[in-house]
Amino acid sequence: MLNDCFFQAATAICRKRAKVLGRPVPLHNMCLHCPNARRSAVHLPRLTTARNQAVSVLDLPKKDREALPRLQVIALTDYATELDELIQSITTDDGTEGTGAA
């Protein structure tokens, strides 16, 4: 869990998918931007782990990284950037600067 969800149907981003599937289906990136999602210092270890996992793939040796589909590299780069921003906002808001992304 990278956040806590305080589900409100009127503002939940996952509700858009409910029309297609008949029920809310959260997606990682949807929750990162949803107004119902809340994150705090409690979530930092998991956010940092998720960010580090994405970066570890991006930090593969060049020949291994080039074997990945181009769109996957773009998606991982964007995901790591989003997580960096979330981590930074938590560390700044909570006064725990220095914790989080390196």
Q: Which amino acid is at 80?
A: A
Which residues are CB-contacts of 50 (< 8 A; sequence separation ≥ 6)?
A: 2, 83
Cα–Cα distance measured from residue 98 to residue 68, given in angstroms and rounded to the nearest whole number: 32
> What pLDDT does residue 25 have?
61
Q: So what's the pLDDT on residue 51?
A: 95
Tell me the CA distances in angstroms from 43 to 10, 30, 69, 77, one per residue in order: 25, 17, 30, 21
pLDDT of 67 reads 93
Whether 90 has a pLDDT exceeding 70, the answer reads yes
pLDDT in tens, 32-83: 788 898 889 999 999 999 999 999 999 999 999 899 999 999 999 999 999 9
Question: Is this model's pTM higher than 0.75 or not?
Answer: no
Residue 13 three-state SS: coil
